[in-house]
Amino acid sequence: METWAVQFAEEWIAAWNSHDLDRILAHYVDDVEISSPLIVERMNEPSGILRGKAAVRPYWTKGIEAKPPLKFELLAVHVGVNRVGLAYRSVGRRFVLEILTLDDARRITHVVATYGDSDAEGFGRSVSGSRT
C-alpha cells in the first residue's frame, strides 16, 4: 500500500469528522465534479452530479449540519492510477465507497460516491461469494 494514500485517506476522514467545511474543501479543486445518489435526494438534482465548489458547498453544509452528526470511520484504502478508493462507514453505520480522481497535486478532481446497507454481513465479499 502506498504510504501517501493512507495518509491522504486519514486526513480526508479527519477533515470530514472535524465538520470544518473549509478544511474539507481544501482537498478539492475549484471545478470538482461529484456524483452521488444523495445529491438527487438532498439537492433535488436529478442527474446526481454537482460541479464546482460553489455548488458543492450547500450540499456538504447540509451533510455536516445533519443530525445525528456526521462521523466517518475509515475501513480500507485502495490505490489506482490517479485514483484512490476509500471504503468507510458513515452515519447510521452505512457503508460508503468513494472513488476519488486526483490531479498531480493530489487534489480531488472527480468523485463517485456509492452507498450500501448498514448490515456488515457480506461486506467485502467477492461477487462469486454473494447470495443469489
Domain with residue 24: its CATH number is 3.10.450.50
In a domain, 123, yes or no: no
Q: For residue 72, name the pLDDT band (cuts at 50, 70, 90).
A: very high
In a domain, 124, yes or no: no
Tell which residue, 110, 78, 89, 85, has the closest CA to residue 99: 85
In the chain, the number of structural domains is 1
Average pLDDT value over all residues in the chain: 89
Question: How confident is the model at residue 128, as a pLDDT?
Answer: 38
Whether omega for the bond prior to residue 68 falls within 30 degrees of 0, making it cis, is yes
What would the mean pLDDT of 107-127 be, rounded to a whole number?
73
In a domain, 79, yes or no: yes
| Phi then psi dihedrals of residue 15, to 5 deg | -60, -45
In a domain, 129, yes or no: no
In a domain, 81, yes or no: yes
Q: For residue 94, name the pLDDT band (cuts at 50, 70, 90).
A: confident
| Phi then psi dihedrals of residue 125, to 5 deg | -75, 145
Question: How confident is the model at residue 107, as a pLDDT?
Answer: 98
Name the grid cell of 44: 433535488
Instruction: Give 14-70 pLDDT, tens digit per residue.
Output: 999 999 999 999 999 999 999 999 999 999 999 999 999 999 999 999 989 988 889
Residue ranges making up the domain that contains 51: 3-118
Residue 56 CB contacts under 8 Å (≥ 6 apart), including other chains: 25, 28, 32, 34, 50
Question: How confident is the model at residue 121, as a pLDDT?
Answer: 52
Q: Compute the distance between CA of residue 17 and CA of residue 81 in angstroms, rounded to an integer.
A: 27
Rg (Cα) of the chain, in Å, rounded? 15
Residue 116 CB contacts under 8 Å (≥ 6 apart), including other chains: 94, 95, 96, 97, 123
Question: How confident is the model at residue 117, as a pLDDT?
Answer: 78
In a domain, 71, yes or no: yes
Let me know: does 7 contact 87? Beta carbons within 8 Å.
Answer: no
Question: How confident is the model at residue 1, as a pLDDT?
Answer: 59
In a domain, 130, yes or no: no
What would the mean pLDDT of 97-112 be, rounded to a whole number?
97
Q: For residue 119, name the pLDDT band (cuts at 50, 70, 90).
A: low
